Amino acid sequence: MRSRGCLLLLGLAVGSASAQQRPLITEIPEPVAGGTARLELGVDFLQNQPFPLSGLRGDLTRIGVIGGRLGLGSRIEFEIQGTLGNFLSVKQREPAPFSDKLRFSGRSTHDIGDFLFATKIRLRQEADAWPSLSFRAGAILPNLKSANGLGINTNRILGGLLAGKHLGKTYFFSNLGILIIDNPTEQATQSDKLAYGLAFLHPLSRRIYLLGEIEGMGGNPHPGTEDVSRVRLGAQVRAGGLVWDFAGLAGLRKADPDSGVVFGITRDFQIFR
């Protein structure tokens, strides 16, 4: 409900265009290579996740966290991200703006996730003292329903700069941009959020990479568009023609989950030259 995957805008590279995005939210500045399709699939487990708009709180499982990226030439990437299934085990209900709109019974609720459509354009490659720079813009289309307690039923628009720079073996990257969210409780108003991300990627060997980040958004909150901030630490393991990833995360604000773990895989396919 806080459109996490979409808030962020700054990037990562491991010295080649084959750098992998998952499990980070902070966006890689380098687009995938032209003619390459990158498929991502994951599962998230989030503990004590609040939904301030509906007043629900519980353990959230996100199954089928999917992503697709297509390199359209050497500078442009098109991407789609979304979740096929969100399942909340409800631990607590509180009075909230949309608590009277809930239309489910029992101690659990579920729904398909919102989907992001975005384009990334590389502005310059990393060279000497200059970082790599890209611009990313997109929109999040609502699928999560307020009646199920998991969504805010509003459109979101994002745009921002991605940057990255190697310091020794470690690659540091960051996002800075704007996320505009229609106010779910009042028509003709919106939340203008500053979206940010700061991350690193460090090779422990040719196959194992340590990674971490802090990402989130802040400013002009309304019910359902609260400020969020999360830290994440994990690894990528390259084996069997796939990139396997896992990470633990912790929330830093009231609208964040207490903790969580994520798992996933990534694979590239050459579809045209």
Q: Among 17-26, 57-66, 114-123, name the one with the lowest average pLDDT.
A: 17-26
Tokens of 235: 């690894």
Average pLDDT over residues 179-191: 90
Domain boundaries, the chain: 4-193+220-270
Residues 6+ apart with CB under 8 A from 222: 183, 184, 185, 186, 189, 191
pLDDT at 130 over 80: yes
pLDDT band at 146 (very low <50, low <70, confident <90, very high): confident
Residues 112, 97: Cα–Cα separation, whole Å: 22
Q: Which residue has the tokens 């890689």?
A: 28
209-262 confidence digits (pLDDT tens): 999 999 999 998 888 899 999 999 999 999 999 999 999 999 999 999 999 999
CA–CA distance, 117 with 235 (Å, rounded to integer): 26
Quick one: which of 45, 3, 26 has its CA closest to 259?
45
Q: Which two tokens stand for residue 82?
A: 């979304």
75-94 pLDDT per residue, tens: 999 999 999 999 999 999 99
Cα 113 to the center of its chain, rounded Å:
12
